[in-house]
Structure 1
Amino acid sequence: MYDVIGIGIGPFNLGLAALLEDIPELNGLFFDKKKEFAWHPGLLIEGTDLQVAFLADLVTMANPQSRYTFLHYLHKSDRLYRFYTFNEFDIPRQEFNEYLAWAASDIGSCNFGSEVIRVADSGKHYKVTVKDTESGSETVYEAKHVVMGTGSEPFVPVELDDELRKDTIYSPEYLYRRDELKDAESITVIGSGQSAAEIFSDLLNGAAHRGCRLQWITRSTGFRELETAKLGQEMFTPEYIEYFNQLPFQERLNTLPELNGLRNGIDSATLAAIYNNLYHRSISGGSPDVYIQSMSELTHVEKKKEHCQLTFKQRQLDETFQVDSQKVILATGFKPHIPEWFDYFKDDIEWEDEKRFKVSDDFRLVFHKEREHHFFTLTNLDHSHGTGATNLKLSAYRNQKIINTILGREYYSLKKKAAFQQFLPAKKN
């Protein structure tokens, strides 16, 4: 009988596993069907940086003394002096991935090549069935609590048959399939987030694509810079998350679009690099073979002889237009990945609408009947915890809340003031 079983090993559950290493009274197991740890490996484009500071690692915000801090990793890797001279808070994404992989390989509770295929409620605990992805053998584990951290999957706005899929690359596949783009006469990137911008910039800088027509199209109103104002960043604090969680459901949904600039924008350096590249190409009458269009939603894709025909609707004018492209890259965002076995619980939990289950402030699913064996989720939280639901800065906070609930006491003190601004109305003394 384990205290907790984590399903999926991404940065969030990996952080939970790391914190549990220093809490002897709790034991846990973590499972992931991947053979080894990898964090968006298809998007680890050379030169790209993390959009949060290195302090948003697995454990620092909860326990800076942990041996799983990023700084300790640098020390163990003999890179601490170089990092000091590097003198940056935003670190290379490739290095952050290597740090996460280092932690995953060192934490004994992390098990890869192990796919959770079933979770059942036995009344006072959970039975978790895990399949070995190589041998196919199944093992049943028991746990007082489970934490679902199954991450996300690409959001695909249109239907793609097998023939279209051959010419369409989802953004997480980019580096794996980049060689397929070498001889393309035209490539279209769809989306306006950081991943779309990094892919477009990589294609723009690639010598292999100098004779290629590059197209970048998005349904968003523009190619917006990520909001980095310091008071705005206080939306990624425990105070705001707790405030957001207590709002009425519809008010939370109405608020999410207002917070988009804090999460869905593009790093200013990436935007500047793209513009500067285009500007240099335009000198002496040059005309880069580039087409950039916003406010245009992809509505249909059809395979023609040598290309894909993309149909868009310009949203403000309500006009339809078409673009031809040999290859298409969909960087249209992600949606929560909810595994099939979760259907077992769908009638026992409360739902806020047909897609969004109700989640308490400490990340528990809310069941119709109260229970002491909890089901926590780190997936599908935008509607309950706002734009900070997927932010690395708050991953340690989420895990602190979960650990406190499991222990039934305040192991971590979370009442410390983190924001200068007030989110609740002022009260008179």
Structure 2
Amino acid sequence: MQVSFLKDLVTMRTPTSEFSFLCYLQDRDRLIDFINHKTMFPSRMEFHDYLEWAAARFSDQVEYGSEVVAVTPVESGGTIDLLDVVVRQGDGTLVTRRTRNLVLAAGLEPVLPDGLVSDDRVWHSEELLGRLPRGCATRTGSWCVGAGQSAAEVTEHLHGAYPGAEVCAVFGKYGYTPADDSSFANRIFDPVAVDHFYTAPDEVKSRLRAYHATTNYSVVDLDLIDELYRRHYQEKVQGKERLRILTPHGSPTSSATTTACASPWSPAHRRAHRAGDRRHRLRDRLPPRRPAHPARRGRPALRTPPRRRRAPGPRLPDRHLPGDALRHLRPGRQRAHPRH
């Protein structure tokens, strides 16, 4: 999981609720074991089991495998107090449920890149677990398009589950971007931040989304980035590459670009970055070159003779010169002379 177990179904609102993750651990007799594990992030398998444990308490009130096909208002005395929800059950029959409250939680729809159409060999990561047993196990190669957490996890899973297959990670930049999960950045997910964002003007919302995009969008946990790079480098050492990271140009990355991917702000990279900045700043301070006169274009440049400097004559120390002689010195060479 990428989220602390304290952000479960109920703890942040009601810490003493019987549906918390800690109560689940106590019920499963694993509370002490989880404490000894010294982690804030349970595995997805364990958190999935926690959600099933909580949902089982409402099995008599929740109907799964159904589809809402219509919602109609129920008027009473000129007002709408109730709603009729038409539901298609798993066997195809239609049932009407009357309710006072209706929550819309349709979720997101999977989107494929432009030009791709889902078929037996192309699918969204949402269908991965259902698709793999049918055909991917016998293939010799797979392509994973995307640079986010899901794409990186799919790449890691395919590379580990099918040791004879070549796995190519394809995305439009030179490496995965680490997720910003630092303490201050995580404040964007605080409940009060939701209220601030909701009431903010549109331009402020756009700025906030841009500022904090690296907390959630198209980013990957640093541990997973390091693991993929470790495998990629180890295969280069062995001379047999199965995990390939494709650059925007469509060819496997060189060691230089993958180094930037694994450690984009290494000390050597910082020194090169600062040196490049100094060169650019120096170039910006230089005056622009004056274009040649139209009559001189295409002709060799004129060479001006070097300036002749006057040979310096013998110079006496100032303390040996009289006052009248000091007045005849050039201003740039005149120095203070004490009076005798």
Where has structure 1 moved over 4 Å in runs of 4 or more? none
| Residue 100 of structure 1, aligned match among 38, 51, 57 | 51
Partner of 2:123, secondary structure, is: strand
Show the counterpart of 2:23: 72
Contact 2:84–2:96, Cα closer than 8 Å, also in 1: no
Show the counterpart of 2:86: 129
Contact 1:182–1:209, Cα closer than 8 Å, also in 2: no
| Distance (Å, rounded) in 1 between the aligned partners of 2:69 and 2:206 | 32
Letter in 1 for 2:169: W
User: In the alignment, is residue 168 of structure 1 matched against residue 119 of structure 2?
Assistant: no
Show the counterpart of 2:41: 90
Query: Whose helix proportion is higher, 1 or 2?
Result: 2
Looking at both structures, which has the greater relative contact order when contacts are Cα pairs under 8 Å and sequence separation is at least 6?
1
| Distance (Å, rounded) in 2 between the aligned partners of 1:148 and 1:221 | 39
Shift of 1:279: 2.1
Query: How do 1:418-429 and structure 2 match up within 5 A?
Result: none
Query: How do 1:354-365 and structure 2 match up within 5 A?
Result: none
Query: How do 1:224-239 and structure 2 match up within 5 A?
Result: 224-239=177-192
Shift of 1:213: 2.6
Show the counterpart of 1:155: 111
| Residue 217 of structure 1, aligned match among 150, 157, 170 | 170
Shift of 1:169: 2.5
Show the counterpart of 2:61: 109
| TM-score, normalised via structure 2 length | 0.66
Shift of 1:221: 6.5
Query: Whose strand proportion is higher, 1 or 2?
Result: 1
Q: Percent identity, please.
A: 26
Partner of 1:153, secondary structure, is: coil
Letter in 2 for 1:165: D
Contact 2:235–2:242, Cα closer than 8 Å, also in 1: no
Partner of 1:91, secondary structure, is: coil
Shift of 1:239: 2.4
1:164-220 deviation per Cα after TM superposition (whole angstroms, max 9, x unaligned): 6110121111122223212222211011111111111112223x343x332111235
User: In the alignment, is residue 139 of structure 1 matched against residue 96 of structure 2?
Assistant: yes
5+ long unaligned stretches in structure 1: 1-49, 297-313, 315-320, 324-429
| Distance (Å, rounded) in 1 between the aligned partners of 2:186 and 2:94 | 47
Show the counterpart of 1:247: 200
| Distance (Å, rounded) in 1 between the aligned partners of 2:71 and 2:112 | 28
User: In the alignment, is residue 260 of structure 1 matched against residue 217 of structure 2?
Assistant: no
Judged with a 3 Å threshold, the aligned counterparts in structure 2 of structure 1 residues 244 and 157 are, in CA distance, closer, same or farther, namely same
**RMSD, matched Cα:** 2.3
1:288-339 deviation per Cα after TM superposition (whole angstroms, max 9, x unaligned): 1333135x4xxxxxxxxxxxxxxxxx6xxxxxx699xxxxxxxxxxxxxxxx
Larger CA deviation: 84-93 vs 131-140 = 131-140
Contact 1:116–1:131, Cα closer than 8 Å, also in 2: yes
| Distance (Å, rounded) in 2 between the aligned partners of 1:242 and 1:220 | 34
| TM-score, normalised via structure 1 length | 0.53
5+ long unaligned stretches in structure 2: 75-79, 253-340
Show the counterpart of 2:156: 201
Show the counterpart of 1:278: 232
